[in-house]
């Protein structure tokens, strides 16, 4: 059994039955010399897992169970191409790995369920978003939250401008046929392409192919796997043309109508968060209003016991959980009965178990801060029926 790098969340491994579940979270580095320490830190986390497993299985069983992680440790190519964070989920049959565009808090857990709350936090739309800056010449993609915006680092073979994209698509055109000039005193965003001889229809054809390529690449590699919202940044004419061609369901109606290369990252972050703050505020308000409106009708609750039993019966449509809260205990996946554990260091978390059950039953899980929760309890749910 080897490991596989995945992008979609949730992955089916979360729903597979196993006697033992291993979850490893590790911050990583993209470049040398910082990334040299990543293998060392992984080895230390692996040793933590080995100590925990030694209390559950024999040494021979452990070696077989951890074989994918031992292989990973030796894979120099893998460690030379990491991103900002790494999540590893391992059970008796499979090992999946997430390479993340954001850092994570280091942890290694051996439990009767996967530890996925931090992973949900990464993938849910309540804290992160993308910004696509585009003009007729090139594009840039950024990932951000309320505090910062950073450029996404693409693989070396990813086309970054119109010429590279057309070459990737195998579009034959004469060298120099597609030229551009800069207008308005700024570079990049105000560049306007024109064909020699005034062949505007050819320019439109090239631009359409370029925009379609970028749209598809962003959908397949970024917004679909994460479900993060996408903000478009560009001049009016570029915004209009791109939106007509786009099939991205995560693209927000409101965009930043400016040459994205003419402003610095701080200004782009500020303008982006103004849009996202309104988006999240409206989304959270709708969710909280729905929860409150249903209170007393039997269709919403903040009672832990009731929610656990409703989860196993497939009743939970929306599950709201307070971030960074752990309730040590075990949830029976058949009955929903809860067994609390007094040891605060116990690896089993009731909230984590409930959210796994809800995800398996195709419910939506949202992690919120304490101030955003609609109740003082660490959990709330809206039921399907």
Full residue range of the structural domain in which residue 357 is found? 295-383
Contact 194, 222 (CB under 8 A): no
Pairing of strands 85-90, 21-27: antiparallel
Does residue 276 share a domain with residue 162?
yes
Q: Residue 98 has what pLDDT?
A: 95
136 in a domain, yes or no? Answer: yes
Q: Are residues 139 and 278 in the same domain?
A: yes
Q: What is the mean pLDDT of the chain?
A: 89
pLDDT of residue 105: 93
Q: pLDDT grade, residue 193 (50/70/90)?
A: very low
> Model-level pTM?
0.67
Q: Please state, in angstroms and rounded to a whole number, the distance separating the CA atoms of residues 23 and 107.
A: 8
* Within a domain: 287: no
HEC string of 56-79? CCCHHHHHHHCHHHHHHHHCHHHH
Q: Are residues 276 and 301 in the same domain?
A: no
| In the predicted structure, residue 370 carries a pLDDT above the cut 70 | yes
CATH (domain of 177): 3.30.420.60
* 159 and 268 part of one domain: yes
Check residue 52 and give its pLDDT: 96
Do 148 and 260 reside in the same domain of the chain? yes
Q: Which of 106-120, 126-140, 164-178 has the lowest mean pLDDT?
A: 164-178
CATH number for the domain that contains residue 34: 3.30.960
Last residue of some domain: 123, 144, 176? Answer: 123
Domain membership of residue 11 (yes or no) is yes
Average pLDDT over every residue of 278-291: 88
Residue 251 lies in a domain: yes
Tell me if 89 is assigned to some domain.
yes
- State whether 134 and 266 are in the same domain: yes
Domain match, 204 and 94 both: no
Predicted local confidence at residue 199, as pLDDT: 64
Domain count, the chain: 3
What the block records as the tokens of 188 is: 């990049």
In this structure, of 159-173, 196-210, 310-324, the range with the lowest mean pLDDT score is 196-210
Span 167-189, mean pLDDT? Answer: 50
Q: Is residue 81 part of a domain?
A: yes
pLDDT digits (tens, 9 = 90+) for 20-40: 999 999 999 988 888 899 999
Q: Are 75 and 84 in contact (CB under 8 A)?
A: no
Q: What distance lies between CA 277 and its chain's CA centroid?
A: 18
In a domain, residue 112? The reply is: yes
pLDDT digit string (tens) for 68-118?
A: 999 999 999 999 999 889 999 999 999 999 998 788 999 999 998 999 998
**Do 32 and 102 fall into the same domain?**
yes
Nearest to 368 by CA among 315, 299, 318, 306: 318
Tokens of 34: 């910082």
Please count the other Cβ atoms lying within 10 Å of the Cβ belonging to residue 89. Answer: 23
Query: In the chain, what's the furthest Cα-to-Cα distance?
Result: 79
**147 and 276 belong to one structural domain:** yes
Q: Quick one: pLDDT band at residue 274, thresholds 50, 70, 90?
A: very high
Provide the CATH number for the domain around residue 337: 3.30.1330.30
- Considering the domain architecture, whether residues 233 and 214 belong to the same structural domain is answered as yes
Confidence of residue 189 (pLDDT cuts 50, 70, 90): very low
What pLDDT is recorded for position 1? 62
**Residue 189 DSSP symbol:** T
Question: What average pLDDT does this structure show over 223-235?
Answer: 93
Residue 95 pLDDT: 97
Q: 3-state class of 344 per DSSP? A: coil
Region 173-181: mean pLDDT is 43
172 is a domain residue = yes
- Last residue in a domain, options 99, 123, 147: 123
Higher model confidence: residue 42 or residue 346? 42
Considering the domain architecture, whether residues 109 and 203 belong to the same structural domain is answered as: no
Of 160, 169, 144, 4, residue with least CA distance to 88: 4
Strands 230-233, 129-134: parallel, antiparallel or unpaired by DSSP? parallel
pLDDT mean over 153-181: 73
Boundary (domain end) residue, out of 71, 89, 123: 123
Looking at the predicted structure, is the pLDDT value of residue 63 above 70?
A: yes
Task: Please compute, for residue 95, the number of CA atoms within 13 A of its CA located in the half-sphere on the CB side.
Answer: 16
Res 185 pLDDT > 60: no
Q: How far apart are CA 30 and CA 253, in angstroms?
A: 33
Are residues 320 and 270 part of one domain?
A: no
């Amino acid at each position: 059994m080897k490991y596989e790098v995945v992008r979609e969340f949730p992955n089916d491994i979360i729903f597979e039955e196993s006697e033992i579940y291993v979850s490893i979270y590790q911050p990583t580095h993209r470049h040398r010399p910082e990334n040299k320490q990543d293998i060392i830190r992984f080895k230390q986390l692996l040793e933590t897992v080995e100590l925990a497993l030694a209390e559950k299985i024999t040494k021979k069983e452990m070696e077989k169970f951890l074989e994918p992680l031992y292989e990973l440790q030796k894979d120099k190519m893998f460690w030379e191409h990491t991103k900002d964070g790494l999540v590893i989920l391992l059970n008796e049959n499979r090992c999946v790995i997430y390479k993340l565009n954001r850092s994570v808090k280091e942890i290694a857990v051996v439990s009767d369920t996967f530890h996925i709350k931090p992973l949900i936090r990464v993938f849910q739309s309540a804290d992160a978003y993308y910004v696509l800056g585009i003009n007729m010449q090139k594009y840039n993609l950024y990932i951000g939250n309320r505090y910062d915006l950073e450029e996404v680092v693409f693989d070396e073979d990813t086309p970054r401008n119109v010429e590279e994209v057309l070459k990737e698509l195998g579009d034959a055109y004469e060298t120099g046929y597609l030229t551009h000039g800069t207008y308005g005193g700024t570079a990049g965003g105000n560049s306007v392409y024109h064909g020699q001889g005034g062949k505007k229809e050819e320019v439109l054809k090239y631009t359409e192919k370029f925009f379609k390529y970028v749209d598809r690449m962003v959908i397949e590699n970024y917004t679909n796997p994460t479900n993060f919202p996408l903000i478009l940044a560009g001049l009016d004419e570029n915004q209009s043309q791109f939106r007509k061609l786009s099939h991205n369901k995560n693209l927000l109606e409101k965009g930043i109508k400016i040459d994205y290369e003419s402003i610095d990252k701080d200004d782009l972050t500020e303008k982006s968060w103004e849009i996202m703050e309104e988006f999240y505020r409206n989304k959270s308000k709708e969710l909280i209003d729905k929860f409150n409106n249903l209170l007393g009708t039997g269709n919403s609750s903040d009672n832990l016991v009731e929610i656990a039993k409703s989860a196993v019966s497939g009743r939970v449509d929306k599950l709201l959980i307070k971030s960074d809260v752990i309730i040590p205990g075990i949830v029976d996946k058949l009955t929903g009965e809860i067994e609390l554990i007094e040891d605060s260091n116990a690896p089993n978390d009731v909230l984590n178990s409930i959210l796994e059950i809800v995800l398996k039953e195709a419910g939506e899980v949202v992690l919120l801060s304490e101030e955003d929760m609609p109740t003082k309890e660490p959990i709330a749910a809206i039921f399907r029926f």
